[in-house]
Structure 1
Amino acid sequence: MARFTLILSTILFLFHATGKGQDKTITLTVPDKKLSITIDYSNGCRIKQLRIKGKNTLSSSGVYTGIRTSDGSFSSAASQDIKVTKNAGTVTISGINYSTIKEKWVFKVKKDKIQWDITREYDQAARLEEMAFPQWNFSDLSVWKGGIMDNGGMVWCKYLKEVNDTYGVHTGGVTFWNAESGDALRITAVSDSKVAAKYSHSPQNEFTCTQFITDAPLQQRYNLSRYVAKKADVFAPFEVKKGTVTASYELQYVDYNKQYSRGILPGIDAVAVRELLNTTGRYGVVDNNIVGANGWLTNWKCLHEPFFAQIGMALNDENYTRNMSATLDQERDLAMLENGRVLSRWHNVPGDEIRGTYNAQTGYYEAMWGYTIDSQTGYVINTSEQFELNGDVSWLRSHQLSCEKALDWLIQRDSNKNGIFEMMNDGIADKKASDWIDIVWASFENSFVNAQLYEALMRWSSCEKILGNQEKADHYTAVALKLKTAFNKPVEEGGFWSASKQQYVYWRDKDGSIHGDNLVTPVNFAAIAFGICDDPKRIALVLDQIEQRTAAEKLFHWPLCFDSFKREEVHSGNWPFPKYENGDIFPTWGYLGVRAYTKYNKDIALKYIRNILEQYKKDGLSSQRYSRTTQLGLGDDILAGICTSITALYTDIYGVRPKWNRLGIEPNMSKPLNGAKFSYTLRDTVYKLELSENNYMMSTGSFSIRSKESFGAGMKGNTLTYYPQNKETRTLAISGQGISIVVTNIFSWTIKSSGDYQFMLNGLQPGSGYQVSINNVLQHIRADKDGRLYIKSNCKPDTRFLVSLKA
C-alpha cells in the first residue's frame, strides 16, 4: 500500500491507494478537530464520513449529489474519471459526471468551517422528479434531536416516524443538534438560485436532508402539503435549464449549549426552556411566509391566534422575526378581502372550509365551523407586536391601511350601538362558532373576541401615533374606552360581568340570552390580561376562584372551562363533559393566565410556568390538549401555542418588552428568581440583562444602566436615551462615550463612568425653571419652550445628579 500525507495550512489531506484498487480518500479537518469530513473518490464521489468530535454521523450512503428523472436515478456516487487537484489550501475534484451532468466540487477549510462549493453543468434542459444538491444521509433518526432552519422553523426528527415521512420547505440552511451531547452541525446554504430542502425517514431508516437548487421556487407535489406521510417526493417535478448552477455550503461545528444558552435562570429549568422553545415553539413554522401554531405535521395555520409575534419575542431568533414579518405581508396580500375581512385559516388541502371559500392557489379560507372573527384582532395584534421586534416604520406603514380595514370591519358590527361588537352568527341555534374555541357556538356579542379587540385597538392606536396620525390614534382609543365601559357593565345592563357567578360570561345571543357562565378561563384571563378589566375586586374574585378550583383538581394547567357548557351550546364532539373544548386542558392560552396572575400573585404565575416545563420534560408537549381526567396528552394536532406560558415568562416575569426604538424591561421578579442573567438580541444589538427584585441591569458594549424601576433604553450614535417605566412621557438622553449610569428616577441619577457628557431631560414643563444639583453643587436652568432641559458636565465615577422644579 502506498500512503501519502500532505498538510496545507489548516487542512489535513489523507490519500490512500492500494496496489490493485482505486480506494482513495481525502480528509479535511478544522483546527480544533471538532469537525472533519472524509471524501471517497475511489468508486464515484461522495462524502464518506462527517465526524463531530471524532464520531461519524453519516450512514454508509454518505453525502452525494444526484438527480432523478422519469428514466431513473443518477448520482455522483456512481460517476467515473474523477480528478483531484490541490492548490494553496484548496482541494478541487472534477470529472464528477453522471447522466447528462458534469460537476466540480471545491473544498477548503476557513478557520472553523469547511466550505464546499458545487458547480453543476446541465448539458441540456430537462424535467426532473427529484434532486440531490446534495443529499446528507445521517445514520438514523437519533443522531440529531432536530434541525433549526434558517426561516426560524424546526424539523423534529421524532415526528418522521414512518418510512418516507417527509417535510419539505423553501429554505436550505439548518443547524442540527443533539441535546444530550450538546453538539450541533450548522449547514449554511448560499446560492444565487432558489434553495429548498426536504427532511425524510429513508427506507434504510436513515435521517436524510436533501437540498434543491432551482431557477424557480419549487411547487408542492400534493396540493399545498409541506409534510407528507409515507411519501418521499414532497416537491412537484420541475424544469432545469441548460447551463451552469452553483451552490456553496459552509459546514461548522456549533457548541449547542453555548450558542443557544438561555443564560442563568435561578428557579427555572433553563435547559427545558431552551428545548421547549427550540422544538414546540418553532414547530408552528410551516414554511416561508407561513408562521403559525398548528404546525407542519398537519399543514395548518390559524390566523385567529394573536401570539405568533410574541413567540418570536421569546425565541429571539432574527430568522423567525424575518419570516413572521413576511408572513404578515402575505396575509395582508392574500388573506384579506377587499372589505377588510381577514380569512381565518390556511391549510394544505380543502375540506375544512365554508363551501366556496377555499383558494387552492393560496390555501386561505373561512373555517367550516363558523366565521371566526378573532382573525381580525389576531392580524392587528400580531402586526403591532411584530413592529416592536422589527422596528421598521416603513414596514408598519405598509400595513397601516390593512390594519385599519381589519379593525373598521369589526367596529362596524355594532347594530344596537351599545359599544360591543357583534359576530356573524346570532345565536346557538345557528350551530356556528365565532372564535378560536371553534366548536362551541359562541354568538352575537362575544366577550372573548371583544376583549381581544380592546387589546388590538389600544396597540394599534400607539402604532397610528408613531405613524403620525394622531386623529386615528385618538379615534381607536375612544372606541376602546367605550368598549371597556360597555364590557364591564353587569349582564343585566348589557355587559358581560356576572355578579352572581363572580366571572365574565362568554357571550350573549341576539335574543338577549346569556351563555358561557361556566368559568371559561381564556375569556376571564383575556379580560384581565388585556386590561379591559382593571377592577382589583373583580380580578381577585376571578383569579382566586380559578386557582382554588385548579388546585382542588390538582391540574398541572388551567382547563378551558371548569363547568360544562349546556348541551345545545356545543358541537357533539364536546360531549359529555369534560371533553375537548368542553373542559379539557388547552395550555395554548397559558400566556393569558400567566399575565393575569403576575401582577396579582406572582407565585401562582410561576407555579404554572414550572408546571408546563415539567410537562415538556415528560412528553415534549406533543399534544393538542390534555385530558381533564387523566392529564395525558390528546389529539393529533400539536399546537406550538402550548409554549406561550414560557413566552410569558419573558414578557411578564422577566419583563422583556421590546419596543420599536429601544429594549424595555418591566420585570415582576420574586426571590426564587433573583440573579437571572441572560442576553437578548434586538435588531443586531446584544443586551445583557441581570434581574433581581427591584434591581435591574441592562448593558451593551456602549452603555450600562442599573435601576430599581422598569425602564427602556436605546442607543443611537453616541446618544443613549433612557425611558422611565419604559414609557415615552419623559425621557433622559445622555451623549458621550462608554456611559455607565445608575438611575433612581428620571430626576435623580448617578454617573459611574468618566467622560464629558451632555444630558437632555425631555417632557418637562415648558419654560419652567429647574434647580440642578451636581454632587451638591447647584445651578439653575430653565426648560425651553418644548419642555427640554440641557446639562453639560465633565463626570468622574459617582457623579450624582438631582433635578427639581424651582419653587
Structure 2
Amino acid sequence: MRMKHYPLHLFCILYFIGSWNDCFSQPARIVHDTQQKTVAFGNDRIKITLDYNKTANISSLTLNDQPVIQGSAGVYSKIRTKESSYTTLHLATDPTVTVSGNVISVVGIRYGDPALSIDETWTFTISSSDIKFDIDRTMSKAIVVEQVGFPVFMFNSMDTWEGAYQDYGGLAWFYLFNKKLDTYGVHSSASDFWNSKTGNGLTVSVTAPGQQIAMDYSRTADDKLAYTLAVSPTEMQPRFDPGTNRRRYVRDTTDVWAPFQISAGKSSQRITLSYFDFEAKFGRGKLAGIHQGQVSAVLNTIARIGVIDKEHFGGNSWHTPYGPICLHEQYIAQMGLAINDNNYLKGYQQCLDFYRDHAIKPDGRVWPRWAYSNEDAMPQGFTDKGFYEAQWGYLLDSNPDFVTNVAELYNQTGDLPWVKTHQASCEKALDWIIQRDTNGNGLVEMMTDSHKQKRGSDWIDIIWAAYENAFVNAKLYYALILWTDIEKQLGNTTKEKYYQGFAEKLKESFNKPLAAGGFWDADKKCYIHWRDKDGSTHGNNMVTPVNFMAIAYGLCDDDARRKTILDDIETQMQKENLFFWPICMYSYGAGEGNDWQFPFPNYENGDIFLSWGAVAVKAYASYKPELALKYVKNVLAQYAKDGLAFQRYGRAKQDGLGDDILSGNSLSVVGLYQAIYGINPLYNRFYLDPHITEALAGTQVRYTYRHQPLIIDLAINQYAVSNSRFKIASKTDFGFFATDKELLYFYGSSNQASLKVSTAPVGSLTLDMKKWGPDEISFTQSSKDAASSRLVYQINALHPDRYYTLLINNQTSKRIKSDNKGTLTFEHKTNKGPDEIVVLNK
C-alpha cells in the first residue's frame, strides 16, 4: 500500500493528537506549525508550546509528563499603569518566528497603545539540561507602572506546587494562601517550585544586568497560582503599610509592590527553566523508626516560614498579620542545621550582616524586634528600617541571641573571614549586657527591678521577669561559651579570657541556692525564672525553657538535679497526657504576668509553645532518648493533623491557637537531627554524637556538609560518616573532615584532629576506629580498590618523645618515636582486605 505524504506540520499535528511524547521521541526537539502558529519544543523533562497567533504566550508547559501550565493565559508579559493595562496576550499583528538549530526567535511582539509602545523579542535556547528564555524589551517612553509581569506564569492551580524556595532559602508555602488574592512578594532572583507527591520540581532563575529582581505569588480569583516576575531599575519597595512600606504579604489584592518608574529605551533579562527531582535534591535518606515523610515535610515547610524576605530571617511567619521578627530568638541559625540547604546559610549570612549594620545601637544594645508595622513598638522606640523595642518591655535576650546566631551559623559554614566581620559587633553586644552586672555577682540585670513594674524582659514577654533573670542569663552563658571559642580562633586571647571568666562566674552564681543569691530552688526542685532586686524570688513553677536551657547549655552539670528536673516534668506530662511540653508546668503567681493570662493555664502562663523543642530534646537525649523521641513523634503526628500552622497549642484541649505562625514549631525535629541523630556541623569538622534508640537503628541520613554530600549511618553503638571516597566508623562520638587528598578523624569532641591520613586524589578508604588513647590506638583499614595506594598516617595528641610500637595484623612492623608535640607518622598501603593497625606505647 502506498503511503500518503503529509506536510511536516500536519504530520506532527497527527502525532500530537496521538501522543505528545511520540513527537518528542523524534530527533528534532522543535516542531514549528506555521498554520496553527505554534511552536512545540523542549527536552526530556520540559516541554513547551508557544502560541503566536496575534499573541505571544506559552500556552502549555509540561514537566516530566505533568501539565503544570495550560491555557490561553499561560506565560506572558504584562504592564499595568493607573490608566491602562497591556499584555502580550492580545497583539495587533502576529510576531515573526524563526528556528535555527536549537534556538527559537520571536520578534515583533508589540503591545501598548498610541501613547505607549512596548516591543519585545523572545529567544528560547534549548539544551538537555534547561531552557533559556531571553526577553529584550524596548519602551517608547518612561512611565510609572502600578504592576509589571516580566513575565507572569499562570500555573494550573494552587495545588500544582506545594511551595517555592527562594534563592536566599526562604519559602512561599502555598498551604497558607487560604484566601483568594492572597499575595506574597520577595526579593529573590530564583524560585524552586516543588511537589513532594509528584516528585517534580521546576527552577525558575532570573538574571537582568544592571537591574533589580523581585517576584510575587498570588492565589487568583479562580484558584490558580500566578507567579509574577518584576525587573526594575531600583529595588522594588513594598506598597503597604502607610508610613512603613514593609509588608510582604497582603490580602485581597495582588498589589504587593509600590509603583515604580520604567525608563525609556532597551532592557534585557534571561529566565532559565530547569527540572529537578524533588527526592534527589531534597531527600533525607532512610529514616528508620519514624515517619520519614513528616520529618521531611516539617523541615521543608514550617522550618523555613520565618524567613520573610532577603535580609529578614526570624521565627514568625511572613503570613503573620504584622510580620514580626524576634531578634531575641537564639535558634534561627540552629534551624539551618536541619534544613540543610546552603541557600539558607548564605541567606542568613546576608541577614546577619544587615542586622549588624542596622539593628545594633551605637552603645551595643540590639533592637529586639522588626515588623511590617510599628503597632507593637514602644512610642518612638523604632527605626526607619523597622527595628524596635517592644511595647511589653526591654527584651534583653536579643543581645546574647544575636551572638549565638552568628556563632552557630559560623560553625555550619566555617567561613572565618565572614565571622571576623562580626567580631566587633558581637563584642559590643556582649559587652553591653555584661556591663549590666552592676553588683559583680556574674548575673546580668534587666531594665526593671521588680515584677510590679509590669514589664517583660525576655521571649516570654508578658510575664514580668525583672532584675536577675535566669532565662536571659542562661542564654548569655551559651553565647559566651560559643563566642569564647571564636575569639580564640581569631587570636584575641584578652577577650577570650574575659568572656570565659565571666561565663564561669555566671555559671557559679546561677547554680547557687536561692538563699545564696542563685536560681536553684531546692524545695521546688527547679531553677526559678527571676529574682527581684528586693531579694524576692519568682517563677518557681517549673518554667520549662529555663530548666531545659540550664541542662542543654551546660549550666547544670549536677546529675542529680538533671534527673530530678527531667523526671518531675515527665511525671506531670503523663498525668495531663500532654503531647508536648508547655511553657511552664504550673501557674505563675498572682501579679507575675499580664492579668488576662490568669487563671492558669492561658497563653504564656501554661500553654504549649513548640519553639522550645530543640533544647527540650537535647536535655532529654543524653538521659532518656526514648522520651525525647516520643515528643518528636507527637509533633510529627500533630503536623499530619493540622500542619502546625499556629502560634501555640492550648493546654486544656491541646488545640491550635493564634494566627501568629512560628517557624519554631519545627524545633523538636531540629532537635531530632542535632541531639538524637547527633548531627553537628562545626567550623573545622562534621561532629557526630548520636543518642539513638533501638527503633531508630538502621537510619541512614543524607546530609550535605560544606557542599559535600555525606551519608550518616546510625546503629546501636556503631556510627559512620562517609562521602564518595572515605568512611569513618566508630562506636562513640567523633569528628570527620575530608578533602581530595586528606581524611581527618577527631576523637570524641576534640577540636584538634587526632588522625590525619594523606592519600592519593583517587581511591577509597574506610577506617573503623576501635580504641583511641595516648597509650593505645587500634583501628582497621580497608579499601574497595583493587590497586593499592600509598597512605601517610599522622597521629596526634600522644605522649611527646616516646617510642611506640606499630603492629599490622598482629605483626610488629616498626618502632616509631613521637616528636616533642606528641605526633608520629608512618606509611602503609591500602588493602582490600581489612588491615588491623595498632599503635602501642611500649
Q: Which residue of 77, 95, 98 maps to 1:65? A: 77
User: In the TM superposition, what whole-angstrom CA distance separates every residue of 1:23-78 from its partner, at most 9, and x where no partner exists?
Assistant: 422112322xx431211111211111112344432353211012112231111112
2:102–2:127: 8 Å Cα contact kept in structure 1? no
**What does 1:177-192 correspond to in 2, within 5 Å?**
177-192=194-209
- Worse-superposed segment, 156-165 or 584-593: 156-165
Matches within 5 A, 1:415-564: 415-564=438-587
Q: What is the match of residue 24 of structure 1?
A: 37
State the distance in 2 between where 1:143 and 1:510 align: 58
Q: String of CA shifts for 1:494-513, please: whole Å, max 9, x gaps.
A: 01111100111110011111
Shift of 1:259: 2.5
Please, what TM-score do these two structures have when normalized by structure 1? Answer: 0.96
1:771 aligned to 785, 805, 820, which one? 805
Match of 1:748 in 2: 778
Query: Is this contact kept in 2: 1:5–1:13, CA < 8 A?
Result: no
Amino acid at match of 1:234: V
Q: Does 1:94 align with 2:107?
A: yes
Secondary structure of the structure 2 residue equivalent to 1:355: strand
1:586 maps to a residue whose letter is F
**Structure 1: how far apart are the matches of 2:534 and 2:455?**
16
Question: What is aligned with 1:167?
Answer: 184
Cα 1:575–1:11 change in 2 (3 A) is farther
SS at 2:49's partner residue? strand
Larger displacement relative to structure 2 (283-292 or 116-125): 116-125
Moved more, 414-423 or 775-784: 775-784
Q: CA deviation at 1:712?
A: 1.0
Aligned to 1:324: 348
Residue 199, structure 1, aligned to residue 234, structure 2: no
C-alpha distance after superposition, 1:759-779 (max 9, x if no partner) = 111223332332322332142
2:506 and 2:643 map into 1 onto residues whose CA distance is 40
Match of 2:19 in 1: none
8 Å contact from structure 2 (residues 583, 604) kept in 1:
yes
**Deviations 1:342-385 (Å, cap 9, x if unpaired)?**
1000111111112212113x111111111111101111111110
Distance 1:632 1:418 in 2: 43
Which stretch shows the higher mean deviation, 609-618 or 54-63? Answer: 54-63
- Tell me if structure 2 keeps the 8 A contact 1:59–1:140: no
The match for 1:39 among 34, 45, 50 is 50
Correspondence 1:634 to 2:657:
yes
Which residue is 2:646 aligned to? Answer: 623
Task: Describe the SS at the equivalent of 1:78.
Answer: coil
Q: Which amino acid aligns with 2:829?
A: N
Taking the aligned partners of 1:411 and 1:768, their CA distance within structure 2 comes to: 46
With normalisation by structure 2, the TM-score equals 0.92
1:127-156: CA deviation from partner (whole Å, max 9, x where unpaired): 222111110112221222221222211111
**For the residues of structure 1 that align with 2:422 and 2:10, how far apart are their CA atoms?**
63
Relative to structure 1, the CA distance from residue 25 to residue 456 in structure 2 (aligned partners, 3 Å threshold; closer, same or farther) is: same
Per-residue CA deviation, residues 240-285 of structure 1 (Å, 9 max, x unaligned), is 2233222222223332233321110111111111111111011111
1:197 Cα offset (Å): 0.3
Q: 1:59 to 1:441 in 2, by over 3 A?
A: farther
For 2:394 and 2:226, how far apart are their aligned partners in 1? 41
Distance 1:793 1:54 in 2: 53
Select the residue among 295, 317, 321 that pairs with 1:273: 295
Encode CA deviations 1:371-408: one digit per residue, 9 max, x unaligned: 11110111111111000111110001011111111111
The answer to whether structure 1 residue 130 and structure 2 residue 147 are counterparts is: yes
Please give the residue correspondences for 1:299-448 in structure 2 after superposition, counting only pairs within 5 Å. 299-360=323-384, 362-448=385-471
User: Is this contact kept in 2: 1:5–1:15, CA < 8 A?
Assistant: no
Asked if 1:758 is matched to 2:775, the reply is no
Q: What SS does the corresponding residue of 1:558 show, helix, strand or coil?
A: coil
Which piece of structure 1 moves more, 490-499 or 96-105?
Answer: 96-105
Alignment counterpart, residue 152 of structure 1, candidates 159, 163, 169: 169
Q: RMSD between aligned alpha carbons? A: 1.8
After TM superposition, the structure 1 stretch with the greater mean CA deviation from structure 2, 786-795 or 617-626, is 786-795
In the alignment of these two chains, the number of paired residues is: 799
Q: Is the 8 A contact 1:196 1:212 kept in 2?
A: yes
Counterpart of 2:390 in 1: which secondary structure?
A: coil
Percent identity, please: 39
Q: How far off its partner does 1:677 sit?
A: 1.0
Amino acid at match of 2:790: D
Instruction: Give the superposition deviation at 1:201.
Output: 1.6
Which amino acid in 2 is paired with 1:787? G
Question: Contact 1:82 / 1:94 at 8 angstroms: preserved in 2?
Answer: yes
Equivalent positions of 1:710-725 (< 5 A) are 710-725=733-748
Counterpart selection for 2:599 from 568, 573, 576: 576
Q: Which amino acid aligns with 1:81?
A: D
Over residues 572-594 of structure 1, what are the superposed CA-to-partner deviations in whole Å (9 max), with x where a residue is unaligned? Answer: 33122111101110011011110
**Cα distance, 1:741 vs structure 2:** 1.4
Tell me which residue corresponds to 1:236.
Answer: 258
Q: Tell me: CA distance 1:107–1:662, structure 2 relative to 1, closer, same or farther (3 Å).
A: same
After TM superposition, the runs of 4+ consecutive aligned structure 1 residues lying more than 6 A away are: 6-9
Matched, 1:50 2:72: no
- Asked whether 1:782 is paired with 2:811, we answer no
Per the alignment, do residues 11 and 409 of structure 1 end up closer, same or farther by CA in structure 2, a change over 3 Å counting? farther
Measured in 2, the distance between the counterparts of 1:730 and 1:87 equals 58
User: Whole-Å Cα distance in 1 between the matches of residues 464 and 694 of structure 2?
Assistant: 44
Give the whole-Å Cα distance in 1 for the aligned partners of 2:101 and 2:63: 26
Deviation track 1:458-480 (CA, whole Å, cap 9, x = no partner) reads: 11111111112233222212211
User: Comparing 608-617 with 239-248, which one deviates more in the overlay?
Assistant: 239-248
Letter in 2 for 1:173: A
SS in 2 for 1:356: strand
- The alpha-carbon deviation at position 184 of structure 1 amounts to 2.5
* 1:282 maps to 2:304: yes
In 2, the alpha carbon distance for the partners of 1:756 and 1:12 equals 50
Could you say if the C-alpha distance between residues 338 and 58 of structure 1 is closer, same or farther in structure 2, counting changes exceeding 3 Å? same
Change over 3 Å in CA distance of 1:140–1:469 after alignment to 2: same
